[in-house]
Amino acid sequence: MEKRVLGKSGLEVSALGFGCMGLNFAYGKGLNRQQATTLLGNAVEKGITFFDTAEAYGPFTNEEIVGEALKPYRQDVVIATKFGFTEGDYTVGFDSSPKRIRSVAEASLKRLKTDYIDLFYQHRNDPNVPIEDVAGTVAELIKEGKVKHFGLSEADVQNIRKAHAVQPLAALQSEYSLFWREPENEILPTLEELGIGFVPFSPLGRGFLTGTIDANTKFEDSDYRKIVPRYNKENREANQALIDVLSRIAKQKNASSGQLALAWLLAKKPWIVPIPGTTKLSRLEENIGSATLVLTADELGQINTAVDAITLVGSRDPEM
């Protein structure tokens, strides 16, 4: 698989990464540890070198799975993890205090079975801690060799600029796909200006863009999508128009709608690295196929024009 560099950081990763959250968290039952280890090993063997996890996925168990699975390949892969929640639990609250950041780093190093974290993200902004203090703490960890690069997740432009001024950011991670294009308004221009890479999570719209989810799909009680308005039955039915368009264009390319959605992201900018997740080898192979799917300027225009004509409905976040 081709490699990409995240902005001006020098951090080189495979053009397509692997979002590990769904292995055991948020999307239903998931895989047992042996199954997850096998799948991650397959990902490495097929050319993926960039793996994304977080202490909050579990909490903690996802990092343990990733650390064990990637231990044999450690020198050949880039591992990203995250801090920012009280006790690692996103339901409890935020905590990006310097003390907590250091505590998370030490614990993550142990769970990941490594002596350095390639990319350390703040998972979400902590309104009680100035972003300059967060960036300064990660800068110290970088000087100590425990962290290689700094990133933010779902940050706004103001915090991106403030953090970057203290410790240059290698990447911003946020949701971005043909199902959610808000980052195009301010985020992408800012990242391009500052030389920061972009790592879209949920690049397949949490599975919707694969065309395998429709109005009749039943989600498990433990599946996060069950409480997200965009994925309720009525909104899935209304948003099916997007899948119909993608499927039609994908057919012309002898590709799946999911592959087209990933190829669209890859074609946007050379410093964009999507991180689709999966629990199935067949889906992993399908996703990897998108990295060789070339879209011309005319084809990109065709996709954009078609998608712009569709009004998507439903909030991407649970109602509070």
**3-class secondary structure, 30:** coil
Instruction: Specify the pairing of strand 18-19 against strand 50-52.
Output: parallel
- Tokens linked to 249: 């264009």
Contacts of 155 (CB under 8 A, 6+ apart): 122, 125, 131, 163, 172, 174
Identify the CA nearest to 16 among candidates 265, 294, 291: 291
**3-class secondary structure, 170:** strand
**3-class secondary structure, 94:** strand
Q: Which amino acid is at 2?
A: E
Per the CB < 8 A criterion, the answer to whether 53 and 21 are in contact is yes
SS3 for 188-204 is HHHHHHHCCEEEEECCC
Cα(53)–Cα(78) distance, rounded to whole angstroms? Answer: 11
Distance of CA 44 to the CA centre of its chain: 17
Per the CB < 8 A criterion, the answer to whether 171 and 200 are in contact is no
Distance of CA 308 to the CA centre of its chain: 24
- Tokens linked to 293: 């799917």
If phi > 0 it is left, if psi is from -120 to 50 it is alpha, else beta; for residue 168 that is: beta
Identified catalytic residue from 27, 57, 121, 176: 57
Cα(96)–Cα(86) distance, rounded to whole angstroms? Answer: 8
- Say whether 57 is catalytic: yes
Give catalytic residue positions. Answer: 57
